[in-house]
Amino acid sequence: MRVFSQISLSRNTVTRRVEDMAEDVRGQIAQRASHFSAFSIACDESTDVSDSAQLLVFLRGVNEDFEVCQELAGLETLKGTTKGVDIFMAVERVLDKNCLKWETLSGITTDGAPAMVGKRAGLNALVSDKVSEFGGSILKYHCILHQEQLCAKNMGLKNAMQDVVAIVNNIRSKALSHRQFKALLDEMDAQYGDVLYHQEVRWLSRGKVLRCFFDLREEIREFQAMKTNNIQVPTDSHWLADLAFLVDITELLNILNLQLQGRDQMITQMYDHVKAFKQKFQLLSRHLSKGEI
């Protein structure tokens, strides 16, 4: 403990140590990358809480001994515009930092945003043109997780979801109402101590919010009824049935989403997860058509 107490933990020292560790990791990736027979990248661009555009570039490469390396190759902040050419230049910087060769790039995965998949000025097109300069070609993939989320967002029952989001955010957005609601849950010894805030940007947020809302629906209805200016919880049985169905389906979609995530997954494993989900969904459809709920 005496030795630890003598170590400087000033912000400058911590910053330098973090930079040293980052440089060491970058060196290890570059060393492994020098032996790649082929590699592919996955790019994800999103905006952080400070409204700055951040580009994540993930790497998966394989050497002659079929040893697979999967790492986060780099994080680039995009200043100004986020057009396809801006993203391409950021990707180029990441590849250069990690000593990755364009001629060994075999594939790229992105979401469906125009800046990514534009036929002429999108990232995919620019990367393909760059690789072709070295006599190669690449495979282009639409992120399977993004596709799964798009399906989840377009499965209908929008009215039930909109009502839940409006009520939850109405409770959480007002400090006094939020405190009063938590106190009510504590008095009633409810299953949850609070209701979760819905955040559209988080893919798994929806299922957790719906489950929490459904389990607390009576407590929420009672709390909202106490305040005349609050959004009231619908009492219609059809609305409740839609909500219950939405909760179950969303939970199944969240399970699939989690199965598709993680390191070192091959396309065959992802295909098995999707195929199993489709069979489960077909079984649910048959039960519904027979009235077996």
Give the range of the structural domain holding residue 138, as residue numbers without chain letter. 39-142
* pLDDT tens track for 207-247: 777 888 888 888 888 877 777 666 777 878 888 888 888 88
Indicate whether 201 pLDDT > 50: no
Per-residue tokens: 158: 């929008």
Are 140 and 122 in contact by the 8 Å Cβ rule? The answer is: no
Q: Note the pLDDT tens digit of each residue in 168-193.
A: 777 776 666 667 666 756 665 555 55
Q: Check residue 220 and give its pLDDT.
A: 80
Tally of domains in the chain? 2
Is the pLDDT at 77 greater than 50, yes or no?
A: yes
Residue-wise pLDDT for 149-173, tens only, equals: 666 566 666 777 778 878 777 777 6
Q: Are residues 266 and 159 in the same domain?
A: yes
Whether 23 is in a domain gets the answer: no
Q: Which of 142, 158, 181 is the last residue of a domain?
A: 142
The one-letter code for the residue type at 86 is: D
Q: In this predicted structure, what is the pLDDT of residue 203?
A: 46
Pairwise CA distance, residues 138 & 174, whole Å: 51
Return all residues near 126 (Cβ < 8 A) that are at least 6 apart: 84, 85, 88
% pLDDT > 90, the chain: 18
Q: pLDDT value at position 99?
A: 86
Residue 124's pLDDT is 92
194 confidence band (pLDDT: 50, 70, 90): low
Q: How is residue 73 annotated by DSSP?
A: E
Say whether both 69 and 111 belong to one domain: yes
Q: How many CB atoms lie within 10 A of CB 11?
A: 7
Same domain, 176 and 279: yes
Give the pLDDT band (50/70/90) at residue 268: confident
Q: Which amino acid is at 48?
A: D
Where would I find the H helices in 140-291? 144-153, 158-173, 175-187, 205-215, 217-225, 237-260, 267-289
**Whether residues 58 and 171 fall in one domain:** no
Q: Hey, what amino acid is at 103?
A: E
Q: Choose one of 142, 174, 200: the last residue of a domain.
A: 142
Question: 98 and 158 share a domain?
Answer: no
The domain that holds 59 is classified in CATH as 3.30.420
Report the residue count for the chain.
Answer: 293
Instruction: Show contacts of 60-64: CB within 8 Å, 24+ apart.
Output: 61/32, 61/33, 61/36, 61/100, 61/104, 62/36, 62/37, 62/38, 63/32, 63/35, 63/36, 63/37, 64/35, 64/37
Residue 13 lies in a domain: no
Q: Which one of 119, 142, 165 terminates a domain?
A: 142
- Give the mean pLDDT of 5-24: 82
Q: List, in order, residues 6 or more apart from 285 with CB less than 8 Å away.
A: none
